[in-house]
Amino acid sequence: MTQDSGISDVGAETVNEDVLVTGGAGFIGSHTLDYLVQKYPDCKFTCVDKLSYATNYLENNLRKVSGCDNFTFIKLDLAEEHQRLDELINHSANNFTTIINFAAESCVDKSFNDPLYFTKNNVLATQNLLECCRTLLNSKPNLRRNFKFIHISTDEVYGEQKEGEIIDEDGPLHPTNPYAASKAACDLIIEAYKHSYKIPITLIRSNNVYGPRQFPEKIIPACLKALQKASPTGIAEKERIPIHGNGRHTRRYLHVLDFAKAVDHIWNWLKNTSESSSDFLGETFNVGTDDEVDNLSMVKLICTIFMRKKFGVESLDASSFIRHTKDRNYNDFRYSIDFTKIKKVGWKQEISLEQGIEELVKAEIENEK
Ligand SMILES: NC(=O)c1ccc[n+]([C@@H]2O[C@H](COP(=O)([O-])OP(=O)(O)OC[C@H]3O[C@@H](n4cnc5c(N)ncnc54)[C@H](O)[C@@H]3O)[C@@H](O)[C@H]2O)c1
Ligand SMILES: C[C@H]1O[C@H](OP(=O)(O)OP(=O)(O)OC[C@H]2O[C@@H](n3ccc(=O)[nH]c3=O)[C@H](O)[C@@H]2O)[C@H](O)[C@@H](O)C1=O
């Protein structure tokens, strides 16, 4: 599998900021860093990450940015090392003006087995960061108007939407699994810090994100991993792609490069907005796509493209590629977020699901050779 998201021709821009990116060694954080570090050579990027099982799955996610003069990595657990984080933010040579918070345990399946760990890690990681920002803005009140904090939330905080239903940024929070609840808890704590301490914090709630370097606990990379063992007739029974329940649940998938660009759009919008208004407390943006597909169709699409490209097989019997497993304790049936607001700040999806999957499969096959 190729490690790149196709980020190669980002035009450099002159912006001078000191940026802290948490969870930047993970899947989405590392692609976002690949994009921003190259695009803004005059900004200084510091990534802190505890380096979990999900990082460095195929190779060092930070390989591309590690050689850049404007990039530094610090191994640090935000939930466990509050004091070290405080030293970094409040007592070091850094003068952070932007914080982008990706850090979280992100796997819904894992959260059912260890819900307390998800709460402790995700909530404390974010709240420790907020506490350090509270100290920072208390000691430097003039920084407030130039201070940009972007928190990466998820569409899962809203819970599922019925067919025909659509939810915008003002919709109520109804998480249905421990991961989603831990993320919703972060969103609520952020709300309290915005009001109580006047810290401007902007939230991004996104549909499912996919692309190169994703850990194969998520459905698309799990599918690609299983296909490594496929023959022209299918996959051996035990190695087949696990489909939870009947596979009729749907998801909407956005390519990670489109997501990185959404972060960049919001960051640029904040640069103009926060400075023009002294009482700005941040906004929430849904980031989404209309590319909705049920799990079974998603897996069939990947298998079909893979078998055509690798073996020239034009039609396949899906039952030789999949195995049905027990469904999740609760599996949100579908998400449907209204993402009109982010389009108004100039962002739009550029990579369709078909195109993104074609490229992923092609890279997977090339990498096998
Ligand atoms: N993957 C998706 O489809 C998706 C969609 C919407 C939102 N999100 C959110 O985006 C963010 C990134 O998700 P991802 O898919 O890249 O996940 P990931 O698991 O690949 O990356 C998460 C990163 O956070 C780090 N991390 C976790 N807890 C930490 C802590 N206490 N201290 C320091 N680092 C810590 C991990 O080591 C890892 O590098 C998460 O906040 C997730 O909730 C993900
Ligand atoms: C927005 C969130 O996206 C991701 O969470 P989600 O649970 O929707 O992603 P998954 O890829 O884990 O699951 C999608 C869909 O596929 C089913 N499935 C998964 C893995 C597998 O091996 N077989 C499957 O059938 C699963 O039940 C789901 O219905 C992201 O992980 C999260 O961080 C988000 O915020």
Cα–Cα distances in angstroms (integers) from residue 124 to residues 9, 77, 112, 189, in the given order: 37, 10, 19, 10
Please give the average per-residue pLDDT across 72-76, as a whole number: 97
Residue nearest to atom 27 of ligand 2 (CA): 244
pLDDT at 20 over 90: yes
Whether ligand 2 lies within 6 angstroms of the CB of 258 is answered as: no
Question: How far apart (Å, rounded) are the C-alpha atoms in residues 46 and 302?
Answer: 36
Whether residue 150 contacts residue 267, with contact meaning beta carbons closer than 8 Å, is answered with: yes
Position 211 scores a pLDDT of 97
3-class secondary structure, 99: strand
Nearest to 250 by CA among 221, 293, 207: 293
Nearest CA to ligand 1 atom 26: 103
Q: What is the pLDDT of residue 1?
A: 39
Q: Please report, for residues 13, 181, 309, 336, 345, the alpha-carbon distance to residue 266 in angstroms, rounded to integers and kept in the order given.
A: 16, 25, 38, 21, 7
Q: Give tens-digit pLDDT for 215-238.
A: 999 999 999 999 999 999 999 999
pLDDT reported for residue 13 = 73
Maximum alpha-carbon separation in the chain: 66
The 10 Å Cβ neighbour count of residue 33 is 28
Query: Are 26 and 55 in contact, with CB atoms under 8 Å apart?
Result: yes
Based on C-alpha coordinates, what's the Rg of the chain? 21
Q: Are 33 and 71 in contact (CB under 8 A)?
A: yes
CB 216 within 8 A of CB 367: no
Position 2 scores a pLDDT of 45
The predicted pLDDT at position 10 comes to 64
Q: Whose CA is nearest to atom 31 of ligand 2?
A: 107
3-state secondary structure of 73: strand
Find the catalytic residue in 35, 40, 158, 179. Answer: 179
The mean of the pLDDT values for the chain is: 95
pLDDT value at residue 278: 77
| Residue pLDDT, tens place only, 41-63 | 999 999 999 999 999 877 799 99
Among 265, 204, 271, smallest CA distance to 15 is for: 271
- Determine the pLDDT at residue 123: 99
| Cα–ligand 1 centroid distance for 312 (angstroms) | 37
Tokens 């949100």 sit on residue: 332
- Give pLDDT tens digits for 173-207: 999 999 999 999 999 999 999 999 999 999 999 99
Q: What is the 3-state secondary structure (H, E, C) of 5-28?
A: CCCCCCCCCCCCCEEEEECCCCHH
C-alpha pair distances (Å), 179 with each of 102, 185, 188: 14, 10, 14
Dist CA 126 CA 154 (whole Å): 14
Is 155 considered catalytic here? yes
For ligand 1, residues with CB inside 6 Å are 22-23, 25-29, 49-52, 54-55, 77-79, 102-106, 121, 125, 152, 154, 183, 206, 208-209, 215
Distance in Å, CA 348 to ligand 2 centroid? 23
pLDDT in tens, 320-367: 999 999 999 999 999 999 999 999 999 999 999 999 999 999 999 998
Give the ligand with the smallest distance to the CA of 48. Answer: 1
Whether 151 shows a pLDDT value over 60: the answer reads yes
Tell me phi and psi for residue 324, to 5 degrees: -85, 130
Residue 12 confidence class, pLDDT cut points 50, 70, 90: confident
Determine which one of 34, 105, 155, 264 is catalytic.
155
| Averaged pLDDT, 33-48 | 98
Query: Is beta strand 208-210 parallel, antiparallel or unpaired with respect to 250-255?
Result: parallel
User: Residue of the nearest CA to atom 18 in ligand 2?
Assistant: 219
Helices (H) and strands (E) in the chain, counts: 11, 12
Q: Which residues pair with 242 in a beta bridge?
A: 323
pLDDT band at 9 (very low <50, low <70, confident <90, very high): low
Under the banding of pLDDT at 50, 70 and 90, the label for residue 24 is very high
CA distances from 56 to 49, 109, 203, 271 (A): 12, 20, 26, 32
Q: How far is the CA of 18 from the centre of ligand 2 (A)?
A: 34
Quick one: pLDDT at residue 6?
55
pLDDT of residue 315: 86
pLDDT tens per residue, range 113-124: 999 999 999 999
Choosing from 32, 102, 255, 353 the residue with most ligand 1 atoms within 8 A of its CB, the one to mutate for a pocket test is 102
Chain segment 269-314, per-residue pLDDT in tens: 999 887 667 789 999 999 999 999 999 999 999 999 999 999 999 8
Q: Is 179 a catalytic residue?
A: yes
| Residue type present at position 50 | K
Active site residue 158: no
* Count of beta carbons in the 10 Å neighbourhood of residue 133: 24
Distance between CA atoms of residues 98 and 298, nearest Å: 37
Q: How far apart are CA 194 and CA 127, in angstroms?
A: 12
How far, in Å, CA of 318 to CA of 304, rounded? 9
- Is the sign of the CA dihedral 342, 346, 347, 350 positive or negative? positive
Q: Give the pLDDT of residue 308.
A: 96
Ligand nearest the Cα of residue 324 is 2
